[in-house]
Amino acid sequence: MYNKYSKKAQEFIDDKEILDTIQWVKDNINNKQLISEVLEKAKQLKGIDHREALLLLECPFEDLNNKMYDLAKYIKNKIYGKRVVLFAPIYLSNYCVNGCVYCAYNHKNKDIPRRKLTQEEIANEVKVLQDMGHKRLALELGEDPVNNSIDYVLESIKTIYSIKHKNGAIRRVNVNIAATTVENYKKLKEAEIGTYILFQETYNKENYEKLHPYGPKHNYDYHTEAMDRAMEAGLDDVGIGVLFGLNMYKYDFVGLLMHAEHLEAVMGVGPHTVSVPRIKDGNNIDSSKYSDAISDELFKKIIAILRITMPYAGIIVSTRESQQVRAETLEVGVSQISGGSKTSVGGYTTAPEEKTEQFSITDERTLEEIVEWLLKLGYVPSFCTACYKEGRTGDRFMQLAKSGQIVNCCNPNSLITLKEYAENYALDNTKNIANKVINEELETIPNEKVKNLTRKYLEEICDGKQDFRF
């Protein structure tokens, strides 16, 4: 029985409610009046529910779809302005005891060399990432209680935060590790991680179990209830996601939204971020056998509706996607992208070794190229990590976001961190464009006090100081 307040996976992700939602949408798909009312409701920036969201996703009317895209662009612009936050993944180990059939790191894949970084190797990777200009990392590793123990994860986080190479510093480490216990989540909290990220892959229990045939990840309930345990442990910024292409997309789209509604209902705050990876080839992984892979057009529509449904959640698209898809999805909702990424263990310091990649990358540009591209598209690339440092997490962050006040922090912070990037890492051409954008955007800060302080910080960055924030 569907109950979003329940702590049981199969009640807050109720199979019948998802199937009923799909049927309800089929029954109402020609109801233009109803679709228009949903769009009208969404204009209030308070989100819409999973039934309304699927109705928009399935909407066959071109005029209403155009209105939907306009609304997504309006919401994106109103809440995020021109800012795009940048990050990079860092792969620590590809040892894994699970059997995820879509992942090159699955235990039975004997063709992939297994590797786990030492703390020294991690430090070297971090130096390379710092030299690119990164401030925000997403830590990735397989599930293996022996090779990738929680102590190894904690030690690695400590190493990452400790490296101060030239002007560099990693200021936020988001962590993507397997579902674990409240006790371990508390340890991650103490280690001062940013967002705890865990993808559901698919919300359909039967398919989930087939796709994860053995290993701890086989346990659907334990995996699906992980965010409740993480939040109970005090990790109030959590990131959810599904791997599109594994199951029928409508089912997973609705499941994803029901998961977000559950967290909001029970914990008082929804997910901090939502990721929308699409399945890609990897070592011994042929993505073409997944018949439910979604088209670029549908992918863009999904992102636009996620933006409408969860106006305040960051939406992340990785380098799995092409430059063109990233450009189109940035317009309708994406707020964070990775840049200069390597998806293999030790990928930043060792020669390209395709065999250890978890999945193949489509956007292979350097961070510098991505920053320049974003600037030319009219965006402000941001390396901001201020909220965690200022204690703006969980419901405190959401209150500020929903009241619109967070913009007073995000905008100046994006300029400050872009300035740091321009001064310390950018080539001349990018630096010139960045400085032009910074000067223009500075004038648009409405609050005189904030504007003057930002100006002062920008000048001090030119004198070699850094780490200013609002």
What is the C-alpha to C-alpha distance for residues 345 and 93, in angstroms, rounded to an integer? 6
Q: Is 443 exposed, middle or buried (0-12, 13-18, 19+ CB in 10 A)?
A: exposed
- With beta carbons less than 8 A apart as the criterion, state whether 237 and 196 touch: yes
Q: Which stretch binds ligand SF4 (CB under 6 A): 28-36, 346-354, 377-385, 457-465?
A: 377-385
Q: Which stretch binds ligand SF4 (CB under 6 A): 118-126, 181-189, 222-230, 378-386?
A: 378-386
Among 226, 384, 415, 458, binds ligand SF4 (CB under 6 A): 384
136 contributes a contact to ligand SF4 by CB under 6 A: no
174 contributes a contact to ligand SF4 by CB under 6 A: no
371 contributes a contact to ligand SF4 by CB under 6 A: no
In the complex, the smallest distance separating the C-beta of residue 380 from ligand SF4, rounded to whole angstroms, is 10
Among 18, 35, 85, 276, binds ligand SF4 (CB under 6 A): 85
Nearer to ligand SF4, 69 or 388 (CB): 388
Nearer to ligand SF4, 275 or 413 (CB): 413
- State both tokens at 80: 């995020």
Among 84, 100, 276, 374, binds ligand SF4 (CB under 6 A): 100
In the complex, the smallest distance separating the C-beta of residue 429 from ligand SF4, rounded to whole angstroms, is 25
410 contributes a contact to ligand SF4 by CB under 6 A: yes
134: nearest Cα among 468, 435, 417: 417
Q: Which stretch binds ligand SF4 (CB under 6 A): 34-42, 53-61, 100-108, 361-369?
A: 100-108
217 contributes a contact to ligand SF4 by CB under 6 A: yes
In the complex, the smallest distance separating the C-beta of residue 182 from ligand SF4, rounded to whole angstroms, is 20
98 contributes a contact to ligand SF4 by CB under 6 A: yes
313 contributes a contact to ligand SF4 by CB under 6 A: no
357 contributes a contact to ligand SF4 by CB under 6 A: no
What is the C-alpha to C-alpha distance for residues 244 and 60, in angstroms, rounded to an integer? 21
Among 14, 17, 125, 143, binds ligand SF4 (CB under 6 A): 143
Among 180, 207, 275, 413, binds ligand SF4 (CB under 6 A): 413
In the complex, the smallest distance separating the C-beta of residue 348 from ligand SF4, rounded to whole angstroms, is 19
- With beta carbons less than 8 A apart as the criterion, state whether 307 and 315 touch: yes
Specify the DSSP element, H or E, that contains 186.
helix 182-190
Q: Which stretch binds ligand SF4 (CB under 6 A): 96-104, 120-128, 284-292, 437-445?
A: 96-104
In degrees and rounded to multiples of 5, residue 430 shows phi and psi of -65, -40
In the complex, the smallest distance separating the C-beta of residue 163 from ligand SF4, rounded to whole angstroms, is 21
Query: Using alpha carbons only, how large is the chain's radius of gyration in Å?
Result: 21
In degrees and rounded to multiples of 5, residue 278 shows phi and psi of -110, 145
What x/- string results for residues 106 through 125 when contact with ligand SF4 is judged by CB under 6 A?
x-------------------
From the CB of residue 157, how many other CB atoms can be counted at a distance below 10 Å? 23
307: nearest Cα among 43, 19, 58, 55: 43
In the complex, the smallest distance separating the C-beta of residue 109 from ligand SF4, rounded to whole angstroms, is 8
243 contributes a contact to ligand SF4 by CB under 6 A: no
386 contributes a contact to ligand SF4 by CB under 6 A: yes
Among 25, 42, 54, 96, binds ligand SF4 (CB under 6 A): 96
154 CB contacts (<8 Å, ≥6 apart)? 187, 188, 191
88 contributes a contact to ligand SF4 by CB under 6 A: no
Helix or strand or coil: residue 373?
helix
Among 79, 303, 387, 416, binds ligand SF4 (CB under 6 A): 387
- State both tokens at 34: 């109803």
Phi-psi region of 98 (alpha: psi -120 to 50; beta: other; left: phi over 0): beta
Segments of 163-313 assigned E as strands: 172-176, 196-197, 238-241, 273-275
Binding residues with ligand SF4: total (CB under 6 A): 20
175 contributes a contact to ligand SF4 by CB under 6 A: no
Which residue in the block uniquely carries the two structure tokens 């045939």? 213
What is the C-alpha to C-alpha distance for residues 153 and 170, in angstroms, rounded to an integer? 16
457: nearest Cα among 426, 424, 412: 412
84 contributes a contact to ligand SF4 by CB under 6 A: no
In the complex, the smallest distance separating the C-beta of residue 65 from ligand SF4, rounded to whole angstroms, is 30
- With beta carbons less than 8 A apart as the criterion, state whether 99 and 353 touch: no
448-462 and 407-424 helices, crossing angle to 10°: 20
445 contributes a contact to ligand SF4 by CB under 6 A: no
Rounded to 5°, the CA angle 344-347-350 comes to: 130
Helix or strand or coil: residue 109?
coil
In the complex, the smallest distance separating the C-beta of residue 142 from ligand SF4, rounded to whole angstroms, is 4
* Chain centroid, CA 2 distance in Å: 27
Q: End-to-end CA distance of the chain, in Å?
A: 45
385 contributes a contact to ligand SF4 by CB under 6 A: yes
Q: Under the rule (CB under 6 A), what is the footprint of ligand SF4?
A: 85, 96, 98, 100, 103, 105-106, 142-143, 178, 217, 382, 384-387, 406, 409-410, 413
